[in-house]
Amino acid sequence: MPDQLPPGPRLPGALQTVGIWTRPLSWFSRLRRHYGKRFTLRLPLVPPFVILSDPSEIKEVFLADPDALHPGEGARVLRPLLGDNSVILLDGDLHMEQRKLLLPPFHGERIKALEELVRDAVERELERLERGEQRLHQRMQALTLEVILRAVFGLDPGPRLDELRELLTALLSFADRPASIVPIPEPGERTKRLLNTAGPFKGFFGLRERVDELLFALVEERRRQREGRADVLALLLDARHEDGSPMSDAELRDELMTLLVAGHETTATALAWAFVLLARHPRVAGELADSLEDGDEYLIATIQEVLRRRPVLPNAAPRLSKVPYEVAGRPYPSGICLVPNAYLVHHDPELYPDPYAFRPERFLGRKPGTYEWLPFGGGRRRCLGASFAQLEMRVVLRAIFGAYEMSADGPLEPARRRNITIRPANGALVRLSARDRARARRTRSAQPA
**Interval 193-243: pLDDT, tens:** 888 888 888 888 899 999 999 999 988 988 888 776 778 888 888 889 999
Sign of CA dihedral 113, 118, 119, 124: positive
pTM: 0.91
Q: What are the backbone dihedrals phi and psi of residue 144, each rounded to the nearest 5 degrees, phi first?
A: -70, -30
Q: Are 390 and 398 in contact (CB under 8 A)?
A: no
Q: Are 375 and 342 in contact (CB under 8 A)?
A: yes
Q: Are 139 and 125 in contact (CB under 8 A)?
A: yes
Using DSSP, state whether 338 is helix, strand or coil: strand
CA distance 360 to 404: 20
Percent of the chain with pLDDT over 70: 96
Q: Are 278 and 174 in contact (CB under 8 A)?
A: no
CA distance 354 to 359: 9
Give the pLDDT confidence score for residue 152 in this predicted structure: 84
CA distance 358 to 373: 15
Q: Which of 377, 385, 296 has the alpha carbon at shortest distance from 114?
A: 385
Give the pLDDT confidence score for residue 404 in this predicted structure: 93
CA distance 357 to 18: 28
CA distance 394 to 287: 15
Which domains are present in the chain? Answer: 2-445 (1.10.630.10)
Q: Which of 221, 212, 206 has the alpha carbon at shortest distance from 155?
A: 221
Name the pLDDT band for 3 (thresholds 50, 70, 90): low
DSSP result, 154-178: -PPSSHHHHHHHHHHHHHHGGGGSG
| Run of H or E residues at 282 | helix 282-291
Q: How far is CA 225 from CA 150, 221, 233, 279, in A?
A: 16, 6, 11, 46
Determine which of 52-56, 64-68, 107-111, 373-377 has the lowest per-residue pLDDT on average.
107-111
Give the pLDDT confidence score for residue 446 in this predicted structure: 44
Pairing of β 319-321 and β 337-340: antiparallel
How many CA atoms lie less than 13 Å away from 237 in the CB half-sphere?
A: 20
**Interval 368-388: pLDDT, tens:** 999 999 999 999 899 988 999
Any idea of the CA torsion for 184, 188, 192, 193, to the nearest 10 degrees? -160
Of the spans 124-133, 156-165, 226-235, which averages the highest pLDDT?
124-133
How many CA atoms lie less than 13 Å away from 66 in the CB half-sphere?
A: 11
Q: What is the mean pLDDT of residues 300-309?
A: 98
Q: What are the backbone dihedrals phi and psi of residue 23, each rounded to the nearest 5 degrees, phi first?
A: -135, 60
Measured at the CA of 348, the angle between CA 347 and CA 354, to 5 degrees, comes to 70
Name the pLDDT band for 437 (thresholds 50, 70, 90): low
Residue 441 pLDDT more than 70?
A: no
**Interval 253-264: pLDDT, tens:** 999 999 888 888
Q: What is the mean pLDDT of residues 30-37?
A: 94
Determine which of 46-50, 62-66, 196-200, 371-375 has the lowest per-residue pLDDT on average.
196-200
Determine which of 58-72, 141-155, 312-326 has the lowest per-residue pLDDT on average.
141-155
Strand partners, 338: 50, 319
Using DSSP, state whether 325 is helix, strand or coil: strand
Q: Are 372 and 308 in contact (CB under 8 A)?
A: no
Alpha-helical runs (H) found in 78-231: 79-82, 92-102, 108-113, 115-128, 136-153, 159-172, 189-197, 204-224
Give the pLDDT confidence score for residue 290 in this predicted structure: 93
How many CA atoms lie less than 13 Å away from 255 in the CB half-sphere?
A: 29
